[in-house]
Amino acid sequence: MTVDSPVQPKPRPVRHVPTVDSVTTINTDGSRHDIHPADVHGRFTTARRWSGWGLIAFYLVLPWIPVNGYPAVFLDIAEGRFHFFGYTLAAQDTWLLFFGVSGLGFALFFLTALFGRLWCGWACPQTVYLEHVYRVIERWIDGDAPARRALTAAPLTPGKAAKRVFKHACYIVASLLITHLFLSYFVSLPEVWHMMRSDPGEHWAAFVFVFTAAGILYFNFAWFREQLCIVICPYGRLQSALTDEHSLNIGYDQKRGEPRGKLGTPDAGACVACSRCVQVCPTGIDIRHGLQLECIGCAACIDACDEVMAKLTRPLGLIRYDSLVKFAGGRTRWLRPRTVTYGILLLIGATVAGFAFSSVKPASFLVYRMSGAAYFVGHDDVRNQFLVRLVNKRSVPAVLKVQTHGVPDGVKQTGFDAPVTIPALGEQVSPLVLTIDRKHYTGPFHFTVEVEDEADTFELKRAVEFMGPEPRLLREEEEEREHAAREKEDHANGKTH
Amino acid sequence: MNPPSSHQPTEDSGIPLRPHTYDGIQEYDQRLPNWWLYTLYGAIAFSIVFWFAYMIARVMPTDAARVEAEMSRLAAIRLASSIDVTNDALFWDMSRNPVFTEAGKQTFTSLCVACHLPSLKGKGENPTAVGPNLVDQAWIHGGTPKEIYATVSKGVLAKGMPTWEPVLGQKKTAEVVAYVLSHHQQGEPITIEVPK
């Protein structure tokens, strides 16, 4: 590995030549070095442009598509209902989030072990919005990389000021659009539209949220940019633990490329040291130094190099997607302990998540005791009083039957004689009172409360305990009572006789 | 395998090296990004302002003061919307107003019927029912409106009547009392019944 920085007696104030020793975008005095990636054309750039715009369209369109009367994805925090393509989850189903998040984690582990930073370059919102919205705006207003660099260096003229104001106004509009759409995932579009036309004071929290979020987005995409990937993003750091020498990444074929030399240099490798790969890099690295933390796997350097190689009629792929092993002349192994382990974890996770999601019922219920004593002993009976809370999680009314099972003979049930209708996304609390007469009472017992819908499409069960005194104590009391009654009777009889 | 990891820092790269060496590893002495340092300086400045505002100048309310203010705000709302539940005449007025009795009937039908039956007659209609008769003139825990309100809101725990006010709130509890009273006449005789 060679370091191609020249020997210098003093630290350079800025570094425009990427090395593996420093971050290109941070100057030696700590100030920022702005990257102006050159335009690039090629198959990966085209594919990335389309997939990026596809992802943005997907994000923008979801709140507009109604499914069952709700937006396709609608996280209704105020009502505690979460709608996904017609599938409604309630706040009670939050535990599923565990499987959602861990599933995404396992999938990312698996894909990273196989393909490296595919996520960063192709799907991460940071890259998608930066490359396909903000840089597009910048390219449109300020021109290509040399023009942008010249404009930055130029003194402030009215023309430059106008361009800057216009560019940043476009950035701000884009940021506001993104955050308003983001808000509509949580409060629905008509509500967002209503809020936008009314006084901010009426919905202060949402107003502050949208404008703070838009401010953060604007700062991030207008100025911060690749610093997020290089300095802040934890996924980038996690990579080194998830990948190995067989993982796919973007690399430079040293064996073919070195030694570099201008066209016509004798004994030179395939690399003509045109530095196109460096000029197009959005994080300012030289991919020829090997795999680096800053690389987000955007494939711009592949397209840049292929373009040059094609012009020189040399084989393409001097820079390409490949594994470190392959670049060193070996063979990539796809099946290895790491990929198998991550694959098995993903499979187990997906199976469990599948079971978990399919076990979610369109209603839920709770049985709890009314306030007061756990049980009541009456003159002839023992009584337990419960409240049943029924929750309809669907966006249509539900007719629910509530029944008790496994109760012994002699139990009388009050409440839920007929099916109850719960309005869409509604709740109802109703009493359920169980009474057993003393003759049949043999101590506390367990029974189940079952809830079914009218069409019997699902069934919910809960085990409940009927509580009561020791039957022995009741019998003793009964005997005492009979004894007292007999004495009283005898006494009365004695009096008359 | 990974080329950069085998890369050794060198003096000739122009970047100063820290003097120490651990396990043969040396580190560069590079400057942090300025924006990073500004977040640090900003946090330090904020902590001083925050400490001064909270602990010294006390221009910001403490958490305890904020909780208290919120609690008294809630109490004020409750006071403003609460009624005098010892005022018998008020309950009689409510019991003749269909707005209150209809609302009370709804609550009664969803919760109270399990024991007192839809007819309100309870044991008077069916001896196996749990709750006592609410339409006759015999009362166990007092038959004046304020006594009925007290019974419903506080419950009769020994008998199984739950405390309803924490569940329903004052308004709904008063509506239920108005609904029960709509089956009675003001001034009718009240007898106190001692249950068996």
Contacts B166 to A, Cβ<8 Å: 371
Instruction: Please determine, for residue A142, whether its predicted confidence score (pLDDT) is greater than 90.
Output: yes
Of the pLDDT bands very low, low, confident and very high (cuts 50, 70, 90), residue A8 is very low
Residues A356-362: what's their mean pLDDT? 84
**pLDDT of A228:** 94
Contacts A20 to B, Cβ<8 Å: 4, 7
**pLDDT of A16:** 66
Of the pLDDT bands very low, low, confident and very high (cuts 50, 70, 90), residue A394 is confident
- State the smallest CA–CA distance between residue B31 and chain A in angstroms: 5
Cβ pair A22:B28 closer than 8 A: yes
Which residue ranges make up each domain of chain A? 11-360, 363-470
Q: What is the CATH number of domain A363-470?
A: 2.60.40.10
Cβ pair A3:B10 closer than 8 A: yes
Of the pLDDT bands very low, low, confident and very high (cuts 50, 70, 90), residue A3 is very low
DSSP-derived secondary structure letter, B86: T
Residue B195, token pair as written in the block: 């249950």
- Best of B28, B37, B39, B130 to disrupt the A interface (most A CBs within 10 Å) is B130
- State the smallest CA–CA distance between residue A168 and chain B in angstroms: 20
Of the pLDDT bands very low, low, confident and very high (cuts 50, 70, 90), residue A2 is very low
- State the smallest CA–CA distance between residue B15 and chain A in angstroms: 6
Average pLDDT, chain B: 87
Question: How large is the ipTM?
Answer: 0.71
Residues B6-23: what's their mean pLDDT? 74
Chain A, window 410-469: residues with a beta carbon less than 8 angstroms from a chain B beta carbon: 412, 414-415, 428-433, 435
Instruction: Please determine, for residue A409, whether its predicted confidence score (pLDDT) is greater than 70.
Output: yes
Instruction: Please determine, for residue A1, whether its predicted confidence score (pLDDT) is greater than 70.
Output: no
Instruction: Please determine, for residue A9, whether its predicted confidence score (pLDDT) is greater than 90.
Output: no
Instruction: Please determine, for residue B2, whether its predicted confidence score (pLDDT) is greater than 50.
Output: no
**pLDDT of A212:** 93
Percent of chain A with pLDDT over 70: 96
- State the smallest CA–CA distance between residue B137 and chain A in angstroms: 23
**pLDDT of A12:** 46
In the CATH scheme, what architecture does the domain B88-192 have?
Answer: Orthogonal Bundle (1.10)
- State the smallest CA–CA distance between residue A131 and chain B in angstroms: 23
**Which residue in chain B has the smallest CA separation from A432?**
B114
**pLDDT of A448:** 94
Cβ pair A376:B1 closer than 8 A: no
Ranges A14-18, A309-313, B44-48, B96-100: which has the least confidence: A14-18
B180-194 pLDDT per residue, tens: 999 999 888 888 887
Chain A, window 32-71: residues with a beta carbon less than 8 angstroms from a chain B beta carbon: 32
A157-180 pLDDT per residue, tens: 999 999 999 999 999 999 999 999
Instruction: Please determine, for residue A488, whether its predicted confidence score (pLDDT) is greater than 90.
Output: no
Instruction: Please determine, for residue A10, whether its predicted confidence score (pLDDT) is greater than 60.
Output: no
What is d(CA A222, CA A209) in angstroms, rounded to the nearest whole number? 19
Ranges A14-23, A444-453, B115-124: which has the least confidence: A14-23
Cβ pair B2:A291 closer than 8 A: yes
Of the pLDDT bands very low, low, confident and very high (cuts 50, 70, 90), residue A19 is confident
Average pLDDT, chain A: 88
**The model's pTM:** 0.75
Residue B28 touches chain A, beta carbons under 8 Å:
yes
What is d(CA A90, CA B66) in angstroms, rounded to the nearest whole number? 32
